[in-house]
Structure 1
Amino acid sequence: MRFKKAIRYIIGKLIKLAVLLLAVSILSFILVSNSPVDPIQSYIGADMTRVSPEQRQSIAEYWGLHEPPVQRFLHWGKNLLQGDMGTSLIYRSPVSSIIAERFVASLALMSLAWVLSGLFGFLLGIIAGMKEGTWIDKIIKGYCFTLASTPAFWLGLVLLILFSVWLGWLPIGLSTPAGILADEVSLLERIRHLILPVLTLSIVGVPHIALHTRQKLIEVLNSEYVRFAKAKGELGFTLLWNHGLRNISLPAISVHFASFGELFGGAVLAEQVFSYPGLGQAVVQAGLSGDVPLLLGIVLCSTIFVFIGNSIADILYKAIDPRMRRGDL
């Protein structure tokens, strides 16, 4: 019986994912098709004035840009169902290979930032909640409110100026030193190039976790059963461990996994600031160049990425709190 419920749950999630991917694909294609960007001009580049109308027409026919938008979308969807995501106009390579190459770089960046922001956000939220109303709580709240309204690209520029330009401690950008083959780059150098982008995303991701954790902990500490525990002599870390962590971990997990979308959006800005060769930089270039196959491929991958994060949050929520299961699993 439990196995059948799990199967129904998985099938339901897959149906939702399929509908979501279809909707996102259609919307993204409509937006890109109505963009003022000329993909042929982006493809040719600076030599546009030397290209005759006949050559322009040949290029449009080669890439299928002469077809009506609906026909182009259906052709792209048919190839996608066969495992072909198309060829990028600006990179002249299969979209799948570009995404696979850049996803590894983006995954390293986002994974480290996600873990660090979760740990520090959860810790700061606990400290602020335990010290409600004190100067420590006010400092943490001020820090969170300030960073919550700080754009990721602006913070990245500030860190870049401070640690790379003024102090010279860290490299200015890229994922590896310029002029060196990727195989010859040491692990230490790769880590040094990751520090500033990871630090930018981590700092921006801390406030939401910290503020949610703080608020939930305050509610828990003001509850009747915690007051009863205090009357029995439980205080400090013992009180938090026995009665607080389980309850405040639920919103923290939910918010943190649901932040995959914000994490990807922040990665796009951070990668642009630091010229980091990941999916974020590729999606910006695809959008500015009208590269529909690459843009749609990245949009689909990012949608799956965010959907998986939300699904994991949902499963963990139910696993931690049996009251939330409601017979789903």
Structure 2
Amino acid sequence: MPKLIVLRLLRLATLLAGVSALAFTLVRNSPIDPIQAYVGADVGLTDEQYAGLREHWGLDRPPVEQYLAWAGSILQGDLGVSTLYKVPVADVIATRFGASLALMGAAWLLSGLLGYALGVLAATHCGRLVDRAVSWYSYTLSSTPTFWLGIVFLVVFSVWLGWFPVGLAGPYGVPAQEVTFAERVHHFVLPALTLSAVGVANIAMHTREKMTDVLNSDYVAFARARGESPGQILRHHGFRNSAAPAVTLQFAYFSELFGGSVLAETVFSYPGLGSTLTEAALGGDVPLLLGIVLISAVFVFAGNMIADIVNAALDPRVRRRT
């Protein structure tokens, strides 16, 4: 296990180096002008002022030198200053990451539990109406874009029924420190349901297939011949052999979870890291954009690493291979 962790950390270092270089190259060659984004589109600059700002920010230096200077600042813990918020990028990420973590955590937990329960239910009623309903739900949600589902939820539950607010993390115009816990939960429900509804499908179908294979296996047929009840078979054989793959898949779901949160937060104007990424991209905030890209790479890598560690802890065959 320590060897597995060390290898993954080395891979993380190489991943961040590659992601940072690629992201820097793409941003530098994009049509975004960081100087114009900083001063505002309606502000005219003279050639001397523009050249002075380029020299002050180091944009007149060669690309490799710019990248090395930026990477060196990151290694020292300095992600730069956000041009949109006029505060350090690390402070913006620290403020917004908590809201996104709560949203993604609730969606991750709900999708895992509900997806596994639906998968087991479908496998134990294979070929029946329940199985067809779960399969239809899973296939439909797997092909449904997160932003479209969020818009549907807004129209149905916010506009037509009026059960939930249209967006934001609290009532409009109320300072954040005055928003109650109940009001935060009220604004939190729809984004969390949108993000978790799509994640349920993959876990449900994977669990259904694995549980069906287990229930049709020879050792389960032998268990039935010995007189074990369906409940005993599920406890002794079904859950034990289907839970580990589901847990591994759930941790590997981190990448899709973060991508879905960007869309869900944008639709619901939820003040998390995903909506901040969209604001940074549209507003030309290069330091904030690059900082969020690096944090998202660490987040996704952490999910995959945890999936590998959990899989190795549950399956001795994986430990022997590593």
When the two structures are superposed, what TM-score results if normalisation uses the length of structure 1? Answer: 0.94
Residues 38 and 289 in structure 1, CA contact (< 8 A), matched pair in contact too: no
1:236 aligns with 2:230: yes
Name which of 254, 271, 274 aligns with 1:277. Answer: 271
Residues 147 and 264 in structure 2, CA contact (< 8 A), matched pair in contact too: yes
For residues 44-59 of structure 1, what are the structure 2 equivalents within 5 Å? 44-48=39-43, 50-59=44-53
1:151 aligns with 2:173: no
1:29 aligns with: 24
Residues 169 and 270 in structure 2, CA contact (< 8 A), matched pair in contact too: yes
TM-fit CA distance, 1:186: 0.4
Residues 37 and 288 in structure 1, CA contact (< 8 A), matched pair in contact too: no
Cα distance between partner residues in 2 of 1:214 and 1:75: 51
Cα distance between partner residues in 2 of 1:68 and 1:92: 26
1:325 aligns with 2:314: no
Residue 183 of structure 2 aligns to which amino acid in structure 1?
A: E
1:20 aligns with 2:24: no
Residues 4 and 309 in structure 2, CA contact (< 8 A), matched pair in contact too: no
For residues 292-303 of structure 1, what are the structure 2 equivalents within 5 Å? 292-303=286-297
Cα distance between partner residues in 1 of 2:282 and 2:256: 21
Residues 167 and 270 in structure 2, CA contact (< 8 A), matched pair in contact too: yes
Cα distance between partner residues in 1 of 2:17 and 2:283: 23
1:308 aligns with: 302
1:221 aligns with: 215
Q: Which runs of 5 or more structure 1 residues have no equivalent in the other structure?
A: 1-5
Cα distance between partner residues in 2 of 1:297 and 1:149: 31
Select between 71-80 and 120-129 the one with higher mean Cα deviation.
71-80
Q: Over the residues paired in the alignment, what is the CA RMSD in angstroms?
A: 1.4
Residue 181 of structure 2 aligns to which amino acid in structure 1?
A: L
Cα distance between partner residues in 2 of 1:287 and 1:185: 29
TM-fit CA distance, 1:128: 0.6
Cα distance between partner residues in 1 of 2:34 and 2:189: 35
Residues 29 and 292 in structure 1, CA contact (< 8 A), matched pair in contact too: no
CA offset digits 1:51-89 (Å, max 9, x no partner): 323333333333333333222211111111111111112
Name which of 248, 265, 289 aligns with 1:254. Answer: 248
Residue 227 of structure 1 aligns to which amino acid in structure 2?
A: A
Name which of 8, 32, 35 aligns with 2:3. Answer: 8
Residues 39 and 289 in structure 1, CA contact (< 8 A), matched pair in contact too: no
Secondary structure of residue in 1 paired with 2:297: helix
TM-fit CA distance, 1:164: 1.1
Structure-2 change in CA distance of 1:154 and 1:265 (3 Å): same
For residues 165-176 of structure 1, what are the structure 2 equivalents within 5 Å? 165-176=159-170
Q: Which runs of 5 or more structure 2 residues have no equivalent in the other structure?
A: none
Secondary structure of residue in 2 paired with 1:47: coil
Residue 23 of structure 2 aligns to which amino acid in structure 1?
A: S
1:266 aligns with 2:260: yes
For residues 190-229 of structure 1, what are the structure 2 equivalents within 5 Å? 190-229=184-223
For residues 84-95 of structure 1, what are the structure 2 equivalents within 5 Å? 84-95=78-89
Cα distance between partner residues in 2 of 1:176 and 1:111: 19
Select between 223-232 and 85-94 the one with higher mean Cα deviation.
85-94
Name which of 20, 32, 38 aligns with 2:33. Answer: 38
Name which of 154, 158, 180 aligns with 1:160. Answer: 154
Instruction: Give aligned pairs, total.
Output: 322
Secondary structure of residue in 1 paired with 2:227: coil
TM-fit CA distance, 1:323: 2.5
CA offset digits 1:169-192 (Å, max 9, x no partner): 111111111111111110000111
CA offset digits 1:35-64 (Å, max 9, x no partner): 12222222222423x332333333333333
Secondary structure of residue in 1 paired with 2:40: helix
Cα distance between partner residues in 2 of 1:127 and 1:7: 38
2:71 aligns with: 77
Residues 113 and 202 in structure 1, CA contact (< 8 A), matched pair in contact too: yes
TM-fit CA distance, 1:113: 0.4
Cα distance between partner residues in 2 of 1:327 and 1:210: 28
1:3 aligns with: none
TM-fit CA distance, 1:147: 0.4
